[in-house]
C-alpha cells in the first residue's frame, strides 16, 4: 500500500470522533462523524461533509442531528438495496450509554436532502458502530451491542439485528459468548466478522456458515486491540484489509477502568457495578496500522503505518486525554481502485487518507 494524499476534513467542533465513509454514485464521498465539546456531552451532534471530486475538496460540514437532551454518536452510512441512503447513529442521555437508542435519517437524492429523524431501534442500551450489510438472501444485518455500566462496560455483548422486510422490523440474534466483544464489523461476504475488545487484548474474529444469521463464538486473532474501534473490508483482489491500533494493554500506569472522556472518575466508578473483569481503558491509540489477510483474517500482514507519533498533543486537549490518539478508522475501496481511510486525529478533526492498493509480493 502507498499513501497518495492526506486531507483534513473541515469541522466547527472542538472534539471530533468516530468517522464513517461512503462513496456516492458520481464518485463523491460522504463522511460522517460526531462532534461537540466532548464525547458523552449533550452538545455532541452528528456532522456530514461531502468530498466534491470535481473541486477536489471536502465541503463545509452540515449538522445532521441536534437533540439537546442527548449525546448523538457513532454515525454510519449505508446504501439500502432500494437505492436510498441511510444515516444511522446512537442517541444517549449524556454519558449514560445504557439509555442509547438507534436513530435514522434517509436520503433519496444521494445525501443532498434528508428525511426527519426517526427511531430505528428503541431498546435502551443499543449501540452501533458499523453500517448494516445485505446477506446473499437479501436480508439486512445490522450489528449492535447492548451497553451498560457494569464492570465499566466490560459486560457489553454483541447481537445482530436481522430484517427481512427492508428495515421495517427487526429480530435480534445474539452472538454466543461475546461478552467484551463489541463493535462487530460484518464483512460484505457475511462469512466473517471482527470485534473490538473491552479487555484490550486482541481483535477477535467470528465466522458464519449461513449468510450471517448465526455466528461462531468470537476468538482472538493475531492482531492486538486496545479497546478501540477497528474496521475491515474485502478488497476486489480477494484480500481483507483492516485498519487498527497495533497495541494492547500491558499494565501501563495510564490504564484504568475509566474511559478517557469521563470527567468525574469517582462518580463513574461509584455508578459501576464491579462484579467481574472490567473493561480496560487508557491504552494508547497509536500506532494506526493497515494490514491485509488472504485467509479470511486467520493471519495478517502489516502493510502500512498511517500514524505513529506517540507524543503529539492537541492544543485543545487540556487534560492530556488524547495524546497520540489516531483512532476509530473507516476504510472503503472506491470504484477507481483506491483505498479511502478516515480516522480521528487527536480528536481535533477527521483526517482522510487516500492509498494505492499494491499487489502482494511473494513471501
- pTM surpassing 0.95? yes
Following CA atoms 149, 150, 154, 155 in sequence, which dihedral angle do they give, to the nearest 10 degrees? Answer: -110
DSSP summary character for residue 49: E
CA distance linking residue 312 with residue 288, whole number of Å: 14
pLDDT score at 362? 47
Mean pLDDT of 322-337: 97
Burial code of 225-242, b = ≥16 C-beta within 10 A, e = fewer? bbbbbbbbbbeeeebbbb
For 58-97, write each residue's pLDDT tens digit.
Answer: 999 999 999 999 999 999 999 999 999 999 999 999 878 8
For 122-165, the pLDDT digits (tens) are 999 999 999 999 999 999 999 999 998 899 999 999 999 999 99
Is the CATH number of domain 2-356 3.30.465.10?
no
Residue 98, CA distances (Å) to 45, 69, 146 in order: 18, 15, 8
What CA–CA distance (Å, rounded) separates 236 from 336? 11
pLDDT in tens, 213-224: 999 999 999 999
How many Å apart are CA 48 and CA 60, to the nearest integer?
9
**Using one digit for the tens of pLDDT, what is the confidence trace for 165-209?**
999 999 999 999 999 999 999 999 999 999 999 999 999 999 999
Q: What is the mean pLDDT of residues 240-252?
A: 97
Q: Name the residue ranges covered by the structural domains of the chain.
A: 2-356
- Contact partners, residue 361, CB within 8 Å, separation at least 6: none
- Segment 342-353 shows an average pLDDT of 98
- What is the percent of the chain where pLDDT is above 90? 90
Cα 110 off chain centre by: 22
The predicted pLDDT at position 195 comes to: 98
The answer to whether 182 touches 195, Cβ cutoff 8 Å, is: yes
* H or E element at residue 271: helix 265-271
β 338-345/171-174 pair status: unpaired
Amino acid at each position: 500500500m502507498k499513501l497518495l494524499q492526506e486531507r483534513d476534513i473541515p469541522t466547527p467542533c472542538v472534539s471530533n470522533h468516530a468517522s464513517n465513509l461512503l462513496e456516492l454514485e458520481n464518485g463523491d464521498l460522504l463522511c460522517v462523524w460526531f462532534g461537540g465539546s466532548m464525547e458523552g456531552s449533550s452538545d455532541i451532534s452528528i456532522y456530514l461533509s461531502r468530498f466534491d471530486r470535481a473541486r477536489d475538496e471536502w465541503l463545509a460540514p452540515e449538522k445532521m442531528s441536534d437533540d439537546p437532551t442527548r449525546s448523538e454518536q457513532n454515525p454510519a452510512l449505508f446504501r439500502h438495496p432500494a437505492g436510498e441512503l441511510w444515516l444511522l447513529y446512537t442517541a444517549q442521555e449524556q454519558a449514560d450509554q445504557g439509555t442509547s437508542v438507534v436513530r435514522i435519517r434517509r436520503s433519496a437524492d444521494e445525501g443532498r436532502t434528508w428525511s426527519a429523524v426517526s427511531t430505528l431501534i428503541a431498546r435502551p442500551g443499543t449501540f452501533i458502530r458499523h453500517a448494516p450489510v445485505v446477506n446473499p438472501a437479501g436480508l439486512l444485518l445490522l450489528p449492535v451491542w447492548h451497553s451498560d455500566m457494569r464492570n465499566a462496560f466490560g459486560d457489553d455483548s454483541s447481537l445482530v439485528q436481522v430484517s427481512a422486510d427492508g428495515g421495517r422490523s427487526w429480530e435480534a440474534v445474539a452472538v454466543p459468548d461475546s461478552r467484551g466483544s463489541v463493535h462487530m464489523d460484518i464483512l460484505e461476504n457475511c462469512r466473517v466478522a471482527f470485534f473490538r475488545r473491552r479487555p484490550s487484548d486482541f481483535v477477535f474474529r467470528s465466522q458464519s456458515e449461513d449468510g450471517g444469521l448465526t455466528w461462531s463464538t468470537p476468538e482472538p486473532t493475531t492482531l492486538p486491540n486496545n479497546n478501540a474501534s477497528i474496521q475491515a473490508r474485502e478488497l476486489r483482489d480477494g484480500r481483507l484489509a483492516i485498519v487498527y491500533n497495533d497495541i494492547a494493554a500491558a499494565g501501563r500506569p495510564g490504564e484504568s477502568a475509566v474511559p478517557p472522556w469521563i470527567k468525574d472518575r469517582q462518580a463513574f466508578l461509584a455508578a459501576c457495578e464491579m462484579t467481574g473483569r472490567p473493561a480496560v481503558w487508557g491504552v494508547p491509540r497509536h500506532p494506526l496500522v493497515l494490514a491485509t489477510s488472504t485467509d479470511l483474517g486467520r493471519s495478517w500482514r502489516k502493510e502500512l503505518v498511517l500514524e505513529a507519533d506517540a507524543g503529539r498533543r492537541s492544543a485543545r486537549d487540556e487534560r492530556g486525554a488524547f495524546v497520540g490518539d489516531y483512532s476509530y478508522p473507516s476504510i472503503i475501496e472506491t470504484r477507481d481502485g483506491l483505498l479511502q481511510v478516515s480516522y480521528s486525529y487527536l480528536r481535533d478533526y477527521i483526517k482522510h487518507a487516500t492509498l494505492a492498493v499494491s499487489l502482494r509480493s511473494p513471501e
